[in-house]
Amino acid sequence: MNLAASAAPCDAPSEDTAAAAALQGALEAAGHGCAVHWLAETGSTNSDLLAQVRAGRGTVQCLVAGHQSAGRGRRSRNWHDQAPDGAGAALLCSTSWPLPRGCELAGLSLAVGVWLAQALRALGLRHAALKWPNDLLLGSRKLAGILVEVADAPDARWAVIGIGLNLRAPQGLAQAASLEQAGVAAGRWQVLGALLPRLLSGLQGFAQRGFAPWMDEWNSLHAWAGAPVQVLGEDGVPRLRGEALGVDEHGFLWLRTAQGRERVASGDVSLRMQQD
């Protein structure tokens, strides 16, 4: 395995290494060619896979880490991961996948949210909802975040899909939720076993049909449907206010505003509930 220089040597406990190998074997038996690698610690699993792609060494693989020292979310925000003494408190993983150059990527993070919600529902989580464009919520608290990044290689355009999911309650983050708090006792490998087959199958379909096949399910899971929201620019200044309606087949969010219906692309904006 050739990882970026930022990755720490693989000194993982044998059970995690064995679990990665067992999951890879199960995926292969189901017809999914996806290598699964485990690292006890790294800077960022997304950065590791992006470096491989940019160096011309991209392969279909899932990189799973016990701890990230430089994890990040959308718009370069930090992803607050438990320190190593909180081992097993989160699922931290990234998957690399080649897509046709003409493939519309706008709805990919939304589709990933649907596949993640499906996997967690299979494990017993019934009340998760999706916040546009890349969060999974329990009530008003964040359970998981999704970061999709794209890199070009000579042979293809590669998507690197990062997922951070709280298995146990993060220390000092009252705004975060966890599977444990929801009564779902599942470790990282159990969650991955439910998620990766859905993710890999979904990516194959997305390459051919885009986001449209998952639009209705996303809208059925829309956490803020009908809520008054505001769209913030990269500078944090509100740019648009209105009622959140839902997303279209391209992954754009529609708002009902005082001026009529407005379509919002994710880009460098974020969504917040309106404050009274």
Residue with tokens 């993710």: 199
Asked if the structure places residue 210 within a domain, the reply is yes
User: Region 224-234: what's the mean pLDDT?
Assistant: 93
Tens digit of pLDDT for each residue in 11-44?
545 799 999 999 999 999 999 999 999 999 999 9
Q: Classify residue 45: in a domain, yes or no.
A: yes
Task: Give the per-residue pLDDT at 111.
Answer: 98
| pLDDT of 81 | 56
3 belongs to a structural domain: no
- pLDDT (mean) for 149-176: 88
What CA–CA distance (Å, rounded) separates 215 from 245?
A: 13
**pLDDT band at residue 246 under the 50/70/90 scheme:** very high
DSSP the chain: ----TTSPP----HHHHHHHHHHHHHHHHTT---EEEEES-BS-HHHHHHHHHHTT---SEEEEES-BSS-B-GGGPBP----GGGTTSEEEEEEEEEE-TT---TTHHHHHHHHHHHHHHHTT---EEEETTTEEEETTEEEEEEEEEEEE-SS-EEEEEEEEEESSPPTT-TTB--TTTTT----HHHHHHHHHHHHHHHHHHHHHHTTGGGHHHHHHTBTTTT-EEEEE-TTS-EEEEEEEEEE-TTSPEEEEETTEEEEE--TT-EEEEPP-
Host domain of residue 265 = 228-273
Task: Classify the C-alpha dihedral 79-12-150-51 as positive or negative.
Answer: positive
Is 157 annotated as catalytic? no
Counted domains in the chain = 2
Q: What is the rounded distance in angstroms from the CA atom of residue 55 to the CA atom of residue 153?
A: 8
Catalytic: 75? no
The reply to whether 206 and 241 lie within a common domain is no
List the structure tokens of 22: 């067992």
Domain assignment present for residue 6? The answer is no
- Contact (Cβ atoms closer than 8 angstroms) between residue 263 and residue 254: yes
The pair of structure tokens assigned to 21 is 């190998």
My answer on whether 114 and 79 are in the same domain is yes
Q: Write down the catalytic residue from 72, 131, 142, 188.
A: 142
Are residues 146 and 204 both part of a single domain?
yes
**Which two tokens mark 82?**
């438990």
The pLDDT assigned to 10 comes to 46
Residue 51 lies in a domain: yes
Which is more confident, 53 or 275?
53
Which residue in this structure is represented by tokens 């146990």? Answer: 168
Clarify whether residues 236 and 211 are in a common domain: no
pLDDT band at 3; cut points 50, 70, 90:
very low
Q: Are residues 176 and 262 in the same domain?
A: no
Structural domain ending residue among the three candidates 184, 201, 220: 220
Q: What is the pLDDT of residues 93-152, one digit of tens each?
A: 999 999 988 888 989 999 999 999 999 999 999 999 999 999 999 999 999 999 999 998
Is the model's pTM score more than 0.85? yes
Same domain, 18 and 93: yes
Confidence of residue 7 (pLDDT cuts 50, 70, 90): very low
Spatial separation of the C-alpha atoms in residues 5 and 48, rounded to whole Å:
8
Q: Is residue 64 part of a domain?
A: yes
Residue with tokens 């493939």: 103
Residue 33's CATH number: 3.30.930.10
Residue 169 lies inside a defined structural domain of this protein: yes
In a domain, 97, yes or no: yes
Beta bridge partners of 63: 37, 94
User: Would you call 142 a catalytic residue per the annotation?
Assistant: yes
The whole-angstrom separation of Cα 49 and Cα 63 is 8
pLDDT for residue 195 is more than 90:
yes
Helix 188-209 to helix 108-122 angle (10° resolution) is 140
Of 57, 77, 261, 272, the active-site residue reads: 272
Beta strand pairing call for 35-39 and 238-247: unpaired
pLDDT digits (tens, 9 = 90+) for 72-94: 654 455 555 554 345 679 999 99
Same domain? For 117 and 212 the reply is: yes
Residues 6+ apart with CB under 8 A from 216: none
Given 181, 198, 220, the domain boundary residue is 220
Q: Which of 72, 74, 131, 188 is an active site residue? A: 74
Q: Are residues 174 and 50 in the same domain?
A: yes
State how far the Cα of 35 lies from the Cα of 2, in Å rounded to an integer: 12
